[in-house]
Chains A and B, each alone.
Chain A
Amino acid sequence: MPSVLSRTEVPVSIDADLCVTGCRLCVDMCPLDSLAIDPETSKAYMYVDECWYCGPCAARCPVGAVSVNMPLLLR
């Protein structure tokens, strides 16, 4: 099947400078399992555009690195 990749702005951003290496709290708490640890940088990031903007990722982050900006479609 022919297909293309298209860019999508994701609703959660994580400040890599603040994100604590080895911490997985946001990844483990996301109900949609939309966050992951980047194997190259060892920092968390949103890897799929699947978000209920519920907020455990931001609320549980011990260093305030996570911002829930909301999906562009409804912002």
Chain B
Amino acid sequence: MNSEIRRLTTTERRQEHCDVLVIGGGTAGSMAALTAAQNGADVLLVDKAHVRHSGALAMGMDGVNNAVIPGKATPEEYVREITIANDGIVDQRTLMQTARRGFGMIQRLESYGVKFERDEHDEYAVRQVHRRGSYVLPMPEGRDVKKVLYRALRLAKVRSTNRVMVVRLLKDGNRAAGVVGFDSRSGNLVTISAKAVILATGAAGRLGLPASGYLYGTYENPTNSGDGHSLAYHAGAELTGLECFQINPLIKDYNGPACAYVAGPFGAYTVNSEGNRFVDCDYWSGQMMAEVAEEVASGRGPVYLRLSHLPSDTISTIEGILHTTERPTRGTFHANRGHDYRTRDVEMHISEIGFCSGHSSSGVWVNEKAATTVPGLYAAGDLACVPHNYMIGAFVYGELAALSAIEHGRSSSIVDPDESQVEAAIDAIYPPLSNPDGLPQPQVEYKLRRFVNDYVAPPKSATKMEIALEHFERTKTEIARLGARSPHELMRCAEVSVIRDCAEMATRASLFRTESRWGLYHQRSDFPDRDNARWFCHSILRKDSAGAMEMSTRPVAPYVVPVEGFEFPTTAAGDGEPDAA
């Protein structure tokens, strides 16, 4: 260890403590921190970026995808809808929380100043995008959502620390007791002790490589490199559904949706190059993505969002939403190419792969109280596996995680970090700083993610995925040779390790499930059919006692809402509960 690293990890080391520690200040994390503070806990919110513009809502959100509004839909209808959308592999008890608590959350957000669209009768203007029910609720002033949350956090006097990347969880026996990370500007080691820890680090969005080849041109905010997935894995928590990737239909070359949810109600629709409709439902599911991928690859590709037939005024209204709210550079993108919706439909393509329970169902296993399988460790938002949970689900689970963490804290205490664990984290974080002429992170990351595209993205096969695993082993030796010349570069190097962990997890989970399910998300060309007799169950990934990735299954818990067409196979056994830790 060189003298600079010794200084950063000893005299410059920052040590903090709190009751409830929240990692990630996006949608779920902001709500978790706010709820914990309002319930009297001493909270610390840690963000790798700056809380004001971090996470999936960095610039806002143009609508809610899963609003269960009394009088418009029932919780049971929502649970049925998502059970079908996720091909039956759901713990309905977790979905029911989003269904039942979502409306209260919308009212809570309104009390902070978030605006949701109302119709002429002052009722919530929900729209139908899903197969059966109406759950999509526009947010005409959604650009302010993070600003509103940030103001609420400041009013509640929540302590926050920006520009800190967390790299390992600290354990006290089998419970989560804090974290180790570093400041990406100063390089200082940071250790934090807590009574309970909430992971809210978002999606693993830097797993696949966008078609442009630009490392940060991902659908998800590229700061969401999968840190929480890696943290949970190394702490012994179970992850689930990792073979059910996130893949989205986006504007070709741009990382935002085309977006049928917003433009559909104004008369836009998805067509192939012959001008014919080819999807029967615009709701983003694996089945819909399979239809888009097939059409793009066929002689009828590419595919487009058609809106050139709409009146100019209507298009101005659509532009007013799409070019200002969630991804405001969208207008710049079209203008750079001289494209206008009035004369040109929007070419669409499919995104890179990722883990994101907001859209699909890959993530850290949680129960209906946001508890992971590690005592004292909670998870919420895109990281936590509650299928199709979107923004409202992230808020609901942030709230639940805070309440659970406070409850856990009553019988827990703040303990000093275990120094052997801190040493191990230092060995994981700092080597690139003592190797300034080592391999550059962009090259190592590009290669790793290109292999993800070539061998792990669907259609998947055992042969391809075995090649991927071989490469990901070799990546370990490249990671050991990474060089960093600044704390910022050190952060990017640490992210490559996280991406490698996620790449291996995605591959092992996909190899394990020897059937096809969730349309394109888990399309196995060597096992093209669904096999309910064997695979009507969750896949579980965890670290085994030798430090390797171990796969197992867990039965789907009995449904609380019956769903026609999803009868449980008679061979399934068990109650769907994790084994006691």
Contact = CB atoms under 8 A, between A and B. Distances in A.
Given A3-B437, A70-B336, A31 B58 contact: yes
Interface in B431-456: 437-440
Nearest to B329: A53
Contact of A50 (B215, B255, B327, B440): B215
Contacts of B74: none
B530 interface: no
A52 B222 contact: yes
A50 B162 CA distance: 18
Contacts of A56: 52-53, 58-59
B254 A59 contact: no
Nearest to B52: A29
- Interface range, A side: 20 to 34
Interface of B is mostly: loop
A32 B222 contact: yes
Taking residues whose C-beta sits less than 8 angstroms from the other chain, chain B's interface range is 35 or more
Contacts of B14: none
Contact of A54 (B59, B163, B210): B59
A50 B495 CA distance: 13
Contacts of A68: 329, 332
Nearest to B146: A56
B221 A70 contact: no
Contact of B437 (A1, A31, A33, A69): A1
Given A33-B488, A55-B329, A71 B58 contact: no
A33 B59 contact: no
B329 A33 contact: no
Contacts of A59: 59, 328
A33 B184 contact: yes
Interface in A43-75: 48, 50-56, 59-60, 68-71, 73-75
A interface secondary structure, majority: loop
Contacts of A74: 210, 212, 214, 217, 253-254, 333
B50 A28 contact: yes
A70 B332 contact: yes
Interface string B14-55: 000000000000000000000000000000000001101110
Contacts of A70: 329, 332-333, 336
B49 A32 contact: yes
Contacts of B253: 74
Nearest to A1: B437
B513 to A, nearest CB: 32
Given A1-B439, A3-B437, A68-B329, A33 B185 contact: yes
10 contacts: A30-B49, A31-B53, A50-B216, A52-B217, A55-B328, A55-B329, A69-B336, A70-B332, A70-B336, A74-B214
Interface of A: 1, 3, 28-33, 48, 50-56, 59-60, 68-71, 73-75
